[in-house]
Structure 1
Amino acid sequence: MIHCRSCGSSSLHLILDLGLQPLANALVEPSNVGQPEDKFPLEVIFCESCSLVQVSETIPPEVLFGRDYPYFSSFLPELLEHSRHHALALLQTYALGRDSLVVEVASNDGYLLKNFLAAGVPVLGIDPAQGPAQAARDIGVETLQAFFGADTANQLVAEGKRADVMLANNVLAHVENINAFVAGFAILLADDGVAEFEFPYLRDLIDAGAFDTIYHEHVFYYSLRALDPLFERHGLHLNDVQRIGIHGGSLRLTVGRKPGKTSRLEAMMREEAELGMSTLQYYKGFGQRVAELRDELRGLLHGLVAKGERVAAYGAAAKGATLLNFAGIDGDVIDYVVDRNPHKVGRYMPGLRIPVRPVEALATDRPDYLLILAWNFGAEIMTQQCSFAEAGGKFILPIPRAVIVNGPAPQDPRKPVTSV
């Protein structure tokens, strides 16, 4: 890549190289375990002109989000509760009713839109993945299976549709043609409508060293400084922001046709400026910190295995694939990964081919340690697996540093209770 995907500048700088990586959500079928898989450079670059952080390699979206895309939001209880509260707040704030239309882009299996449907508000989901889109239709959520952009928006407007509220949760970072994507919102949004976007915040990623949230599917890593000109380019205005805890630290943006920045948005933009997030210097040293985090986790796990301890992992998610492959943690260290999503069970983690088993395997197999790859849902997972802890099992959290914890106790999980 030689030009920024947002502003077109060629002033690009490499800030992190995670090596050759498989596609993080491309779980391997048992019949293909012996076959080679494609790997691609996973490099992160910074645009000095507009401050946008992005990966260098473009993977075609039909490859990333095709027929076998395994991510189903409804298997994440914490996300379901988060989404329900979000929907209830929107229903009240904008007095949505039977004459309104809520459109969600990347609506997945209907996990969010079903809350509006239950309140009698018409909805439309848009998602390119066949499995999740069908799952949404099965619960009554009208879903268009398509990639969203200006063309799709024009088609819907021609059908007489305009959205009072548009939602895009954890997709703004996924779309390579970001200008066409944002243009679609400008086309489909009603004159007095609002759009809200949720996505992991770059500042939290850097602070925590959360390199495992970087994979080919996540094309962009956003700061407010990078987003403001992107929206304005398409006649939209970034007006408000909230910092939320989901996914290890995220932002929720409110965007509309008319300008009106809130004081908290202006304050957060000043904070970014004071931190230097629009400068290359802010990202210097990030690669070294990531290498140190990797080495720390590898040392901890290899030390446990050398003592005869058995380790399993929880969460066959994309972040886990990035972490395991970059750290070179294979089946000699991790016996298996468990996951609640039946669409993942029976398959293998990409790259290192560690088998994925149902969560119930922990109760019968009883490993000594459980590495929580989905550490952003760590408290929920440790609470869910309290019987594992009661039987003497211990948990390992890999980010923001590798630590062993006994469970979701009041102690700060960033502080180890055991040294190995």
Structure 2
Amino acid sequence: MTRCRLCGSAALASVVDLGATPPCESFLAADRLDDPEPAYPLHLRVCTDCWLAQIPPLITPEETFKEYAYFSSFSTSWVEHARTFVADAVERVGLGPDAFVVEVASNDGYLLRHVVDRGIRCLGVEPSVNVGAAARDAGVPTLTEFLSPDTGSAVRAEHGPADLVVANNVYAHIPDVVGFTQGLRALVADDGWVSVEVQHLLTLIEENQYDTIYHEHFQYYTVASAIRALASGGLTLVDVELLPTHGGSIRLWARPAEVAGEPTARVAEVLDREKAAGLQELSGYTEFSARVAKVRRDLLRFLIEAAERGETVVGYGAPGKGNTLLNHCGIRPDLLAYTVDRNPYKHGRFTPGTRIPILAPEQIAVDRPDYVLVLPWNLRAELVEQLSFVHSWGGRLVFPIPELSIVEVTS
């Protein structure tokens, strides 16, 4: 990668190099274990002109998202997050019975189901064939397409402009930032609203959340870089919310530039925080690589020492972020016997690169391991409750990020 995908600058500086890994959602079926796996460099750089952090676009969205292993509805807290968002958005935007809502990357309808329940007309635009089919089965109208300016214009021509366009946890997933943003503008009414949720680069760096760097995530946003990205498609940021999701996210409220008006005071406050953290100069990025290396050493030390004591460690969850962590640390089944996941799609498969078996969650109670390594650490509160039964045999939970933490749960 020689130029920034947002501004075209050649001034790209290294932030952290995680080596080469397979795509994080390319879980292996048992009959593929003898097949070779392609691995791609995972090197985060930042543009010192527009401060967009990014990795090379070595894998196309078509390769990743046509058949997708992630179903949002398997996270109880995520479905509740979506329900709360819809309730608040109805009030904020003033969505009445004649309103129209479009969600881009709508997954299995986890969010739009709440819009359907309110009797509001809606449409999901979801590129993955399998999860889009699940959404339609659940009663959520869904178009199987990637968003582009042409797709946005076609949806607008057929269904009318959207009063609200939602793009949650997708703005990092597209290499063509400008074209995608133009697609958002094509969808939204001239006096409408766009809501974008995306992980905040500020917390990613402050909390050592390097495992959220993977090939599905082409870029990583501050509010400052998001303002420039939104402007590339004719949208203006008017408000921002700081969210706890994914370890720390931002919810960006934008409108067409012609009607946007002045941004709220919260926008200036977050911009000031980012500037104070040094994220508009290289000084804010220089120590991140060393802190990432410490996370790796601490986790490996724990796993090796547990193995030498004859203690058993299994995983909980098989998220994309977990595969970055497992591959970067070089963790194999000798250190992590298996992991479990609530998503039946993953059962009987193996993690990419590290070839760790993925089983059903019930296996933990059968085997009663000494430790459970929680890979979706961003769901810590939810999973501490779900895994409270581990206490019955004296088992403990392990969270690797932001630093190694061993937790004794209570039943």
TM-score range, shorter chain: over 0.9
Q: Match of 2:163?
A: 164
Q: TM-score, normalised by structure 2?
A: 0.97
Q: Match of 2:394?
A: 392
Q: Match of 1:413?
A: none
Q: Which amino acid aligns with 1:386?
A: S
Deviation for aligned residue 1:58: 2.5
Structure 1 runs, 4 residues or longer, greater than 4 Å off: none
Q: Which amino acid aligns with 1:34?
A: D
- The alignment status of 1:46 with 2:46, answered yes or no, reads yes
User: C-alpha distance in 2, partners of 1:27/1:381?
Assistant: 22
Any residues of structure 2 matched to 1:218-233 within 5 Å, and which? 218-233=217-232
Q: Match of 1:154?
A: 153
Deviation for aligned residue 1:236: 1.2
Deviation for aligned residue 1:292: 1.0
Deviation for aligned residue 1:95: 2.6
Deviation for aligned residue 1:183: 0.5
- The alignment status of 1:126 with 2:128, answered yes or no, reads no
**SS of residue matched to 1:159:** helix
Q: Match of 2:114?
A: 115
- The alignment status of 1:13 with 2:7, answered yes or no, reads no
Any residues of structure 2 matched to 1:342-381 within 5 Å, and which? 342-381=344-383
User: C-alpha distance in 2, partners of 1:387/1:159?
Assistant: 51
User: C-alpha distance in 2, partners of 1:57/1:118?
Assistant: 38
Deviates more, 1:268-277 or 1:388-397: 268-277
- The alignment status of 1:214 with 2:216, answered yes or no, reads no
Q: Match of 2:338?
A: 336
Contact 1:40–1:57 (CA under 8 A) maintained in structure 2: no
Q: Deviations over 1:294-348 (max 9, x none)?
A: 0011001111111000000001111110000000111000010000000111100
Q: Match of 1:36?
A: 36
Q: Which amino acid aligns with 1:33?
A: L
Q: Match of 1:175?
A: 174
Structure 1, unaligned runs of 5 or more: 410-420
Q: Match of 1:64?
A: 64
Contact 1:42–1:57 (CA under 8 A) maintained in structure 2: no
Any residues of structure 2 matched to 1:147-296 within 5 Å, and which? 147-257=146-256, 258-296=260-298
Contact 2:207–2:402 (CA under 8 A) maintained in structure 1: yes
Q: Match of 1:418?
A: none
Contact 2:391–2:410 (CA under 8 A) maintained in structure 1: no
Q: Match of 1:3?
A: 3
Q: Deviations over 1:345-385 (max 9, x none)?
A: 11000001000000000111111100000111122112111
Q: Match of 1:80?
A: 79
User: C-alpha distance in 2, partners of 1:53/1:292?
Assistant: 22
Q: TM-score, normalised by structure 1?
A: 0.95
- The verdict on how the C-alpha distance between 1:146 and 1:383 changes in structure 2, with shifts beyond 3 A counting, is same
User: C-alpha distance in 1, partners of 2:397/2:9?
Assistant: 45
- The alignment status of 1:101 with 2:105, answered yes or no, reads no
Contact 2:179–2:233 (CA under 8 A) maintained in structure 1: no
Structure 2, unaligned runs of 5 or more: none
Q: How many residues are paired up? A: 408
Q: Match of 2:403?
A: 401
Q: Match of 1:23?
A: 23
Deviation for aligned residue 1:160: 4.5
Q: Which amino acid aligns with 1:326?
A: H
User: C-alpha distance in 1, partners of 2:130/2:92?
Assistant: 32
Contact 1:41–1:57 (CA under 8 A) maintained in structure 2: no
**Percent of aligned pairs with the same amino acid:** 41
**SS of residue matched to 1:154:** helix
**SS of residue matched to 1:240:** strand
User: C-alpha distance in 2, partners of 1:246/1:231?
Assistant: 21
User: C-alpha distance in 2, partners of 1:127/1:157?
Assistant: 16
**SS of residue matched to 2:401:** coil
User: C-alpha distance in 2, partners of 1:350/1:126?
Assistant: 28
Deviation for aligned residue 1:57: 3.8
